[in-house]
Amino acid sequence: MRDDELRNACFDELRRLAARHGPDIPYRGGLDAGFRVENRRVPFMTPYKGIFRAREQNGDAALSIITYLDSPYRDRATADGYVYSYRAGSIDQPDNRALREAFMLQIPIVYFFQTRAGYYDALFPWFVDADDPGAEGGVAIHISVPV
């Protein structure tokens, strides 16, 4: 399966979930069901880490990222998007490479922003438009909606 088809299926299902639930999409009974591509269930994310690349993807770019309310990272809103911190540790670990790949190839991702326990606002399609490994407080990227 092609990654652009997978991403389109992901975005289509997120639109359906947002139409049903509004901007606060529940994990249980919503996001946990994932989406279907070629008769396969593909998860939107994993609740265990912030940067996610689905096993079903062929390419190396991340599918989604998450900011949790109790995050130890310095993720924050800006006037035109969000600053998102890379996973702690090496900039070259697989999760961080997946996010940097989305930047280099300008591939759209989903930004799940936790609004309350068990609920997420799904921002998509968003793009990594800056990569700043020397950012204050750790390495960070900037994401925004296309103009």
79-93 pLDDT tens trace? 888 889 888 888 889
In the chain, what percentage of residues exceed pLDDT 70?
94
**How many domains, the chain?**
1
A 10 A CB-CB count for 106 gives 11
Inter-residue contact 120 to 25 (CB < 8 Å): yes
Residue 42 pLDDT > 90: yes
Domain harbouring 9, CATH code: 2.30.280
Mean residue pLDDT of the chain comes to 90
108-137 pLDDT tens trace? 999 999 999 999 999 999 999 888 877 665
49 vs 135: CA distance, rounded Å: 21
Q: What's the average model confidence in pLDDT over 57-77? A: 92
Report pTM. Answer: 0.92
In the chain, what percentage of residues exceed pLDDT 90?
66
Domain containing residue 96: 3-144
Q: What's the average model confidence in pLDDT over 138-143? A: 69
Q: Between vectors from CA 12 to CA 77 and to CA 119, what angle results, nearest 5°?
A: 45
